[in-house]
């Protein structure tokens, strides 16, 4: 459930300080909140609710956006994270989509995107494909609607080297045990790169050390993240 904006504002004020910094909302705090399924300490921004992966991704995207003029460029945001959506709306001609119309600007199934090819300069589709049985169909659609020389952030939770998948498993408790969540249909490994490249994407892996100085790691609270994957067409 989304918190009342007033409650979030009060919470942010109470936690003001200089120990932690969120680059997404550009605020400093004496503490971050617990977060993640394992309730790790100092994970979630008290103001915008960003997690470690959101903050590291934003650092990478800032470098991408600085390299080009984003004015007038079109960006598709699938299953939008509010913490990332807010700053992106100031940079791009922005469209968010989701299967749930209450969560985005338009309802859309990314396995059947009702838009012409090469419609977008950029795409963000993070932690979505692990919910989709035909993930390759979704990837082909995302590739189709991305313009040449465009970029896409298509990230998934990964464990190990090889993807574990059995679409005949439908029991929620079994899926949670095998794939991390009851609504996940697979657990991706690092061979996810092969799925991206077989679609046509070129994959660039940006290490955390390329984005953040070592002295800033603690302030940004990025311990559980090590890299960002960005796709290019």
Q: What percent of the chain has pLDDT over 70?
A: 97
Q: Is 117 a residue whose pLDDT tops 80?
A: yes
Q: Is 103 a residue whose pLDDT tops 90?
A: yes
Q: Is 4 a residue whose pLDDT tops 70?
A: no
Identify the pLDDT of residue 1: 43
* pLDDT single digits (tens) 205-215: 999 999 998 88
Q: How far, rounded to the nearest angstrom, does the alpha carbon of residue 38 sit from its chain's CA centroid?
A: 19
* pLDDT single digits (tens) 32-50: 998 877 788 889 999 999 9
pLDDT-derived band at 80, boundaries 50, 70, 90:
very high
Structural domains in the chain plus CATH codes: 1-50 (no CATH), 52-232 (3.40.50.150)
Which pairs from 130-133 meet CB under 8 Å and 24+ separation?
130/156, 130/157, 130/179, 130/181, 130/184, 130/185, 130/186, 130/187, 130/188, 131/183, 131/184, 131/185, 132/185, 133/167, 133/185
Identify the pLDDT of residue 159: 95
Q: What is the mean pLDDT of residues 106-117?
A: 97
Q: Which of 16-20, 174-178, 180-184 has the lowest mean pLDDT?
A: 16-20
For residue 80, CA distances in Å to 44, 146, 191 come to: 17, 17, 25
- Of the two residues 233 and 12, the one the predictor is more confident about is 233
Q: How far, rounded to the nearest angstrom, does the alpha carbon of residue 29 sit from its chain's CA centroid?
A: 23
pTM equals 0.90
* pLDDT single digits (tens) 130-162: 999 999 999 999 999 999 999 999 999 999 999
Residue 208 phi/psi, 5° resolution? -55, -35
Identify the pLDDT of residue 143: 98
* pLDDT single digits (tens) 60-72: 999 899 888 888 9
Q: Is 8 a residue whose pLDDT tops 90?
A: no
Q: What is the mean pLDDT of residues 181-200?
A: 97
């Amino acid at each position: 459930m989304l918190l009342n904006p007033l409650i979030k504002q009060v919470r942010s004020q109470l936690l003001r300080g200089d120990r932690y910094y969120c680059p997404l909302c550009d605020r400093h705090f004496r503490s971050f909140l617990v977060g993640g399924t394992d309730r790790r300490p100092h994970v979630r921004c008290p103001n915008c609710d960003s997690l470690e992966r959101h903050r590291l991704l934003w650092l990478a995207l800032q470098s991408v956006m600085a390299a080009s003029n984003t004015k007038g460029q079109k960006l598709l945001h699938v299953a939008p994270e509010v913490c990332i959506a807010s700053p992106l709306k100031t940079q791009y001609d922005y469209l968010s989509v989701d299967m749930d119309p209450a969560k985005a600007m338009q309802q859309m199934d990314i396995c059947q995107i009702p838009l012409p090819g090469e419609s977008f300069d950029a795409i963000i589709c993070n932690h979505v494909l692990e919910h989709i049985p035909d993930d390759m169909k979704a990837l082909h659609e995302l590739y189709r609607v991305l313009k040449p020389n465009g970029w896409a952030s298509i990230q998934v939770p990964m464990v190990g080297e090889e993807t574990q998948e059995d679409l005949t498993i439908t029991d929620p408790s079994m899926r949670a045990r095998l794939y991390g969540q009851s609504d996940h249909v697979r657990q991706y490994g690092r061979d996810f790169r092969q799925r991206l490249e077989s679609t046509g994407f070129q994959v660039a892996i940006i290490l955390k050390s390329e984005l953040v100085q070592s002295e800033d790691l603690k302030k940004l609270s990025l311990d559980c993240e090590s890299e960002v994957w960005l796709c290019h067409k």
